[in-house]
Amino acid sequence: MLAADQPPASRPATRIRSGGVNPRSYGLRVETEAIVAGLASAVLFGVVAAIIFAGQVTPLWGGLSVGAVAALSGLVAGIAAGYTGYWRSRHRPGQQWRLHTASWKFVIDSTTVALVHAMIAAILTMAVFVLLQRSFEGLVLDVYSGSIAVAVCAGATAYLIYQSVSDVTTRKLSSMLVAFMAISVLTSIATAQDPAWWEYHFSQLGTAGDFSSSLFNLALIVAGFFVTTFALYLNRDLTTLVERGVLEHPTAPRTISVIFIVMGLMLAGVGAFPVNVSMPLHNLCATGMAIAFSIMVLGSPRILAGLPRRFFIFCIGTFAVLIGSFLLFEPIGYYNLTALELIAFSIIFGWISVFIRFVNALAVPVGADR
């Protein structure tokens, strides 16, 4: 019997999702490309490290060290792998909608996603080498050992980041936003040269002009653009809810997207204008972000009418906790301004993460790619 004459039950079943792309073939392609990206990065930065370390022994951490070169190599390799992988993942099943995104939006989106991945990898690399230096006090590496260590770090970073950005989902991005801010801020706090920074205010971390302050300001700028990236994903999910009749107002997707873009730009402005550079602009951006957040949270029952009531209860509870935190600062005076800002910072980003995941859970069918 010819294959064409076989009954349907006897034919091998191959599930192909929208766009005619076989998920298994796509997965194999991503794995292959990730390995290539990892090997290329390992070879390239291994050679660069060999040139830098030639004729000397190098400590694991401190000044020109193996850890510093490995972190910088991972940052560059991660950005390249992240941008490339995210760009190619537009053809992934369920992600073809990004093919129709405006070019300038996609550039910001892809650059931000790549930067967040790469910065997390670089910070974690530094942390590993700091721990190794303290664990093996006085250990130095020759050119061969140092180059191999850098090659391994750069190769592993490129490989893992390429895989991660090739499988980006709304839920993963929301988790990465929180992780990125937590890791960056904690690293800035741990490396701050002024041990009394917390006696002033949270923004004091960005005023020293050293590595700690540079990382803090850069993290705010990148996180700001990362928040604007969510406007693309939220617009898509909220539009789906409008089409299904869940949301009552057709203008909800555009309204929320605009608010997220404003919040992101204001957050980036807080990092771009530290208090020692321009106090008025810094305060204007911080106030603008707070106002945009308040409008979204308090206006959600009207803007997002149709969502489950438990979401609006969560919004009211969040704002109540925020007000309570402010009252503990003034007039009660239970803690200082730094504590208030840290608490408010955590509440805002926690709410953003929950909101994004909540909307995505409603918009995406059960069993579909999220």
pLDDT in tens, 300-321: 999 999 999 999 999 999 999 9
Encoded tokens for 236:
């898509």
CA dist 229 and 90 (Å) reads 15
Q: Which of 124, 144, 168 is a domain's end point? A: 168
* H or E segment to which residue 140 belongs: strand 140-141
Distance of CA 43 to the CA centre of its chain: 27
Using a pLDDT cut of 70, give the percent of the chain over it: 91
Q: Contact, 111 vs 24, CB < 8 A? A: no
17 pLDDT higher than 50: no
* pLDDT one-digit tens code per residue, 126-150: 989 988 988 888 889 999 999 999 9
Alpha-carbon Rg for the chain, nearest whole angstrom, is 24
Q: Which residues pair with 173 in a beta bridge?
A: none
Specify if 5 maps to a domain.
Answer: no
What is the reported pLDDT for 365?
63
Mean residue pLDDT of the chain comes to 86
Q: Contact, 85 vs 95, CB < 8 A? A: no
Would strands 58-59 and 140-141 be described as parallel, antiparallel, or unpaired?
Answer: antiparallel
- Number of domains, the chain: 2
**Parent domain of 47:** 22-168
Burial category of 337 from C-beta neighbours within 10 Å (exposed 0-12, middle 13-18, buried 19 and up)? middle
Q: For residue 14, name the pLDDT band (cuts at 50, 70, 90).
A: very low
Mean local confidence (pLDDT), 254-267:
93
Same-domain pairing of 158 and 174: no
Same-domain pairing of 119 and 181: no
What is the reported pLDDT for 46?
96
Q: Which of 124, 139, 168 is a domain's end point? A: 168
Same-domain pairing of 112 and 182: no
Same-domain pairing of 155 and 181: no
